[in-house]
Amino acid sequence: MGSEEDCKGNCIGWAARDSSGVLSPYRFSRRTPGPDDVSFKITHCGVCYADVVWSRNKHGDSRYPLVPGHEIVGIVKEVGSKVFRFKVGDRIGVGTYVNSCQECQYCNEKMEVNCVKGSIFTFNGVDVDGTITKGGYSDHIVIHQRYCFNIPENLPMAVAAPLLCAGITVYSPMIRHHMNQAGKSLGVIGLGGLGHMAVKFGKAFGLNVTILSTSVSKKDEALKTLGADKFVVSSDKEQMEASSKSLDFIIDTASGDHPIDLYMPLLKTAGVFAIVGFPSEIKVNPANLIVGMKSIAGSVTGGTKDIQEMIDFCAREGIYPQIEVIPIQYVNEALERMIKKDVKYRFVIDIENSLGSD
């Protein structure tokens, strides 16, 4: 278990030690802030399905002990000599990556997530100094200022956290494909942490929003609570046929394997089907793309420019993810519940008031 190591270090966190993914208290060291670094006390951290994937070694590349968490917000407690964007006491956030080459075409365009050399993940990544990055299930973190974001005063910290992954993952492709134009029609597959944010952004942009779901049990929630305009049960052939050629854009947030061809007839001519979930494979009949000039697109989170714009937009428009706040001691149960889709719609860990209170 590394018990001797667990007694050392300047940072308290919760870590998985092996592929069981079970998290427990763990002490380790964060680096001393450099000239461009910001050190901040973490107040909240969102719980993302990525935390399950890497804590349980689903991709075979997990580096233990592993401290998950990449939807992180807190309060600045120290800044390096070259830091100009933040000061002590500022409200701050960091998302899915903490470094990049800073000199390629994509970094220069503030699309660092697409860095040619690969962006460095907030946890389980290999940083430029060779250390393994450790995430937000911890009491503080040290990050280069470039990858940090201002959290406006009117945006509560707990709801700001999920924006840094769940929010930007759907916001970014919607902006890229011009789905912020009122009057257009949006389809959303999957009504979890990502999907419910796609609905909220869609309504804020003035879109006509259709939920595409396998479960009729989500209908009232989708229409009454989230404000979707239409709910279509994808297994109902009549409902699907009635929605033919009605959508400009479909965003697919589902991670389980599911048929893509089923949804392609719902797109208008030149419509786009954007995948942001991670199914193990997709199969599509080429005719469903060729006829009607349709496209399939992929998207990851977003660059630093888009992330700050999204945070500011959410603060201005009052767009808040729906969350369940939990103490760190509940996180193993929360991960199990998330696997079972038993959360509306994002768990957020209250780091400030629970970590270190064992």
CA distances to 15, 85, 97, 169, 223 from 102, in Å: 30, 17, 13, 21, 43
Taking only the tens place, the pLDDT of each residue in 37-84 is 999 999 999 999 999 999 999 999 999 999 999 999 999 999 999 999
Q: Classify each residue of 54-85 as buried b or exposed e, where b means 16 or more C-beta atoms within 10 Å of its C-beta.
A: bbbbeeeebebbbbbbbbbbbbbeebbeebee
- The share of the chain scoring above pLDDT 70, in percent, equals 97
Residue range(s) of every CATH 3.90.180.10 domain in the chain: 5-156+321-354
pLDDT of residue 1 exceeding 50, the answer is: no
CATH of domain 5-156+321-354: 3.90.180.10
pLDDT at 103 over 80: yes
Fold of 167-298: Rossmann fold (3.40.50)
Alpha helices in the chain (DSSP H): 49-55, 105-108, 157-160, 166-176, 193-204, 219-220, 237-242, 287-290, 304-317, 331-339, 351-354
pLDDT at 334: 97
Q: Which two tokens stand for residue 158?
A: 């707990």
CB of 67 closer than 8 Å to CB of 161: no
Rounded Cα gap, residues 290 and 138, in angstroms: 49
Average of per-residue pLDDT values in the chain: 94
Give mean pLDDT, residues 312-319: 97
Segments of the chain assigned to CATH 3.40.50.720: 167-298
What is the average pLDDT across 160-172?
Answer: 97
Neighbours of 152 (CB within 10 A): 12
Residue 137: per-residue pLDDT: 98
Q: 219 is written with which tokens?
A: 């209908």
pLDDT digits (tens, 9 = 90+) for 276-299: 988 888 889 999 999 999 999 999
> DSSP 3-state assignment of 4?
coil
113 vs 288: CA distance, rounded Å: 30
CA atoms within 13 A on the CB side of 10: 10
> What is the Cα–Cα distance from 347 to 158, expressed in whole angstroms?
10
Say yes or no to pLDDT of 90 above 70. Answer: yes
Nearest-10 Cα torsion for 17, 22, 23, 25: -70
